[in-house]
Structure 1
Amino acid sequence: MISRSSTPAVDAVRAEPRSAGAVATLMVVVFLSLLDSQIVATALPRIIGDLGGLDRFAWVTTGYLIAGSAAVPVYGKLGDLFGRKRVLLISILVFLAGSAACGLAQTMTQLIAFRVVQGIGSGGLFISVLAIIGEMFTPREGARYHGWFSLTFGAASLAGPTLGGLLTDLADWRWVFLVNLPIGVIVVLVLAVRLRLPARPEKARIDHTGVILLTAAIVAVNLLTTWAGTAYAWNSPIIIGLAVGCVLLPALFVIAERRASDPVVPPRLFGDRTFTIVVAVGFVAGFVGLGIVNYLVLWLQAVLSLGIQQSGYVLTAMMLGVVVTSYLSTRRIARTGSYRWYPTVSMILFAVTAALFATAGTGPALATVCLLLFGVAGGLNSQALSLAARNTAARDDIGAVQGTATMSRQIGTALGVSFFGALMTSRIPVLAEDSTDPAAYADALRLVFIAVIPIALIGLVISLFLDDITLSRS
């Protein structure tokens, strides 16, 4: 529920940390967390040439992402318990330690292990900043800063590949990791001095059982979606075991949370209708919005026969759609206080653009328009849902609320990738006859795009139950 209490500590938050330096430094933290995957991807060919391990290089990215997604809800709750500033600084230090170790790695196995450490740190960066903004500002004021997240995402997406290429060519691939160190040290020093937040109790109970079960469940989901149908057959013992784990572990987690004195994801949060709908719609948005991105790339190159560079230009339209729409929508939400229809319109656009993608004979020009609309759909819900969740959250639950909402979207993305991949493999007999025939790929991808439509419509129906609670000014 909305907390409207005013205390000296809260008033101090409103007066003290609103310096440009503190907020700008928080945006740098977000930039670092978003930049890393972009900058490392560019250097991977050089890394493989130096360290070898071609058969395992994908885990340089996969290990980082899985570790980060598993850490997100845990960091959110730890911030509620022990103070968000403390947790943010710890996550930055873990991220920097992982970055330094990656820069010194001598084998591919070492690099993968250190990337997991770096990913554990990265999981706390964005979610901690999100929660800190929620604590520093009222929901209405915070909407303005959510727009900055969108611009930061755009800047990281544009700067990452270029910066990664420059560092790799002019210096060495190790600098794509080591470059984080001087920036990170400055960030830590500025936040330690300039960021002022209310103190939390020195003693708090950590839900160890919940943390272990939740982390195991998230890892199981990510491994299942990564390995199923690719590294291992769907009927292999490993995939069957992971599938069982994906059912059993969440069930055990729910039981543990009901018994815990201070659970990682408090069950009482789901008594808030807005929070429950945000989690559900966020799951669908991740499923259809991010889960299908890899197949859009395949569609451009295999069906429309666009080159890598052309595909990059066309995909830029989608990225611009996400960034610009997210920024403009949050600015308008800040002015009006209303977020009600943004997720609904988002789901409508997801369904419409999926229908357009499934249309035979789509050319590059229409493809650009479709991808732009798809980006607009993603931009309309990304920040609106977060603001809706924050609006009805008590101050002491901000981290748990934002962490759970973010986790829901990430799990939706992972399951979406697996689900759409399964649909693609169902067309393997067709593709095997002529793997270079664009018509064969078009047939397989058409099935994927058609499947998006009913899922997006389910999200649309759920979003209609979202109450229009004006963003609080208190």
Structure 2
Amino acid sequence: MPATGSHRSSETAPSSQATFTHKQILEIVWALLLCLFVSSLSATVVGTALPTIVGDLGGQDQLAWVASATLLTTTVSTPLWGKISDLYGRKPLMQLAIAVFVVTSIFAGLSQTMGEMIIARAAQGIGGGGVVALSQAIMADIVSPRQRGRYAGYLGASFGVATVAGPLIGGFLVDGPGWRWCFYVGVPIAIVASIVLQRTLHLPHVRRKTQIDWLGATFLTASITSLLLVLSLAGTEFAWASGWTLLMVAISLGCLVAVIVVERRASEPILPPRLFRGRTFNLTGIAGFLVGFAMFGAMIYLPQYLQVVRGMSPTASGLLTIPLVVGMLGVSVLCGRAITRWGRWKMFPMAGIALIAVASGLLATLHTDTSLVLVCAYMLIFGSGLGLTQQVLVLAVQNTAEHRDLGIATSAATFFRSMGGAVGVAVFGAILTSRLASAIPELLAEHGLKIRLTAESLSAHLGTPEEIAHIPEPLRSVIREGFTLGLNRIYLIAVPLVVLAFLAILAVKEVPLRGRVASPEDDTAAPAPATGPVVSESARAAVPAPAPVVADTTRHAVPARARRR
């Protein structure tokens, strides 16, 4: 027994805190940035190539599934990656996620039919979901909440950069080597990131004998999948008031009830009920969902305005969205540094959500001839709001989570935002389609045009931006005006949703950011977050004879004995 106890002690001792210098953290962060950039790029770069892909592989009626399949699997897999990484460690799971992403990207580029493409994109979403969830969990493992703001801003900005770079790179690749390179382009970058992580990321992990709650994971996946399917397909593949809609809603609700029952009884639940007893987790989750709803609405439909209404090319519209990315990138970095300096976080998402609400209201005033300078100013405000909000909400959740739940808490925060985006894209798409169907006939009558458009003929006219640009006047102007009215309604509906997100953050009780990285011993101690690199009295009692902790500008809560190694 003494030998066993000694062996266990030697295994778990390093897990208290990992040893990373500032240089090592930067290397890991850059690898994570590459992973996140490639994952985000895989979604945005394909958007430009979709018309060409469909024309080459055939199956115009299946076009929506190429995008929806990835979004669906990314959303449902996010909490699974987080929970499994809590049990088996971040590094092997991150390497697995990158490997899945690389292999499925190659398969997508080799696809010969639309069916193969949809399957490959769905599998690619699984890898992408792991990359997104685990990147932020790894950040929480290597940097204390107080210092994390210095680096987290870059992670959030990578998404914005990929949003703008995607259409530009996609257009270049489609016009050059071909659309298949839209999938190949991220492979070498992901491989480089994997190699860097393998060499620099050394996270100690306490192995636990446990089982994954596969039953809970199955019910959770089925519930989310059914909900997203009905939101994606209702109104296009089948009517909203149909048997299919009722069936999918019933499956979603039934599986949700099953999740609650199973998770309350499981020894290692995939989504621990104890997380939902935390006020910060619940309120930031609601805010993240609502912000994701509005965020994806802006990012998905702003190119529609620039390309369809203003007649710009994908490359030109991508360049015009640079102010949105500049706002996200610049403000994320400044916000992160301010959080590190002050140790407070709540004021930033409150200001950010307020800016998003203002920007959404301004975007709801767009016309067919609105000055492009004003459009860019509105996007700059919107991007600044996102920069103040996205990563800070995840940071708030990580700061209050126990070490054993760090991965699932992080992925759950990302999951709520992804769910908001998935629901937002589906709902806003339905709103836009409905508004177009009612507005265009009304506008034709107002202009004295005796053109009768049925649902089928209207759908035929609403093709790609290039096809709309070749529609003869005055019908082209009417269609563009109809699009503007539909987009106005989308952004107007986003305003009250963002206001609700503001109220949710307002109700959060701010907990000062910890000055040290969470460790397994903290799970047995009463939580007492501090604003500096100190350990609570209860945690001190739980860990016998801790070594002195050294904290300076280049090392983050590194035990002296670890540095001597």
The Cα shift of 1:15 comes to: 5.8
CA contact (8 A) 2:223 2:256 kept: yes
Partner residue of 1:467 out of 506, 509, 516? 509
Q: In the superposition, relative to structure 1, how do residues 68 and 447 fare at CA in structure 2: closer, same or farther (>3 Å)?
A: closer
Q: What is the aligned partner in structure 2 of residue 128 from structure 1?
A: 134
Percent of aligned pairs sharing the same letter: 35
Shift of 1:166: 4.0
Q: Give the superposition deviation at 1:117.
A: 1.5
Partner of 2:272: 266
Q: Which amino acid aligns with 2:28?
A: A
Q: Is 1:229 aligned to residue 235 of structure 2?
A: yes
Decide which of 396, 417, 424 is 1:409's aligned counterpart: 417
1:391 Cα deviation after fit: 0.9
Checking the alignment, whether the CA contact within 8 Å between 2:291 and 2:420 is kept in structure 1 is: yes
- Aligned twin of 2:324: 318
Structure 1: gaps of 5 or more residues? 1-5
Deviation at 1:149, TM superposition (A): 0.9
Match for residue 398 of structure 1 among 395, 402, 406 = 406
Q: Which moved more, 1:415-424 or 1:252-261?
A: 415-424
1:319-398 to 2 correspondences below 5 Å: 319-359=325-365, 362-398=370-406
Given that 2:164 and 2:325 are in contact with CA atoms closer than 8 Å, whether structure 1 keeps it comes out as no
- Among candidates 86, 90, 93, match of residue 87 of structure 1: 93
1:55 paired with 2:61, answer yes
Q: Which residue of 1 aligns with 2:497?
A: 455
CA contact (8 A) 2:161 2:325 kept: no
Counterpart amino acid of residue 271 in structure 1: R
Q: Given residue 507 of structure 2, which amino acid in structure 1 is its aligned partner?
A: F
Is the CA contact (8 Å cut-off) linking 1:228 and 1:418 kept in structure 2? no
User: Distance between the aligned counterparts of 2:72 and 2:328, measured in 1?
Assistant: 24
Cα deviation, residue 138, structure 1: 0.8
| Deviation sequence 1:283-319 (CA, Å, 0-9, x none) | 111122223444444445566x453465444433223
Kept in 2, the 8 Å contact 1:320–1:375? The answer is: yes
Contact 1:354 1:449 in 2 (8 A): yes
Instruction: Give the match for residue 458 of structure 2.
Output: none
In 2, distance between residues paired with 1:201 and 1:119? 28
Structure-1 separation of matches of 2:157 and 2:76: 25
Q: Which amino acid aligns with 1:420?
A: F
What is the deviation of 1:124? 0.4
Cα shift at 1:404: 0.9
- 1:238-284 deviations in Å (ceiling 9; x for gaps): 22222223323222212221111111111111222111111111111
Q: Does 1:281 align with 2:323?
A: no
Which deviates more, 82-91 or 437-446?
A: 437-446
Give me the CA root mean square deviation: 2.6
Contact 2:439 2:482 in 1 (8 A): yes
Larger radius of gyration: 2
Any conservation in 2 of the 1:17–1:196 contact (CA below 8 Å)? no
Equivalent in the alignment of 1:307: 312
d(CA) in 2 for partners of 1:281, 1:47: 36
1:3 is matched with which residue? none
8 Å CA contact 1:13–1:198 kept in 2: the answer is no
Evaluate the alpha carbon distance shift between residue 58 and residue 74 of structure 1 in structure 2; reply closer, same or farther with a 3 A threshold.
Answer: same
Residue 445 of structure 1: how far off its partner (Å) = 4.0
Structure 1 SS opposite 2:401: coil
Give the unaligned 5+ runs of structure 2.
1-11, 445-474, 517-565
Say if 1:47 and 1:432 are closer, same or farther in 2 by CA, change over 3 A.
same
Distance 1:157 1:360, change over 3 A: closer
Cα distance between partner residues in 2 of 1:169 and 1:422: 32
Q: Which amino acid aligns with 1:131?
A: A
Q: Give the direction of change, closer, same or farther, for the CA distance of 1:16–1:65 in structure 2 (3 Å limit).
A: same
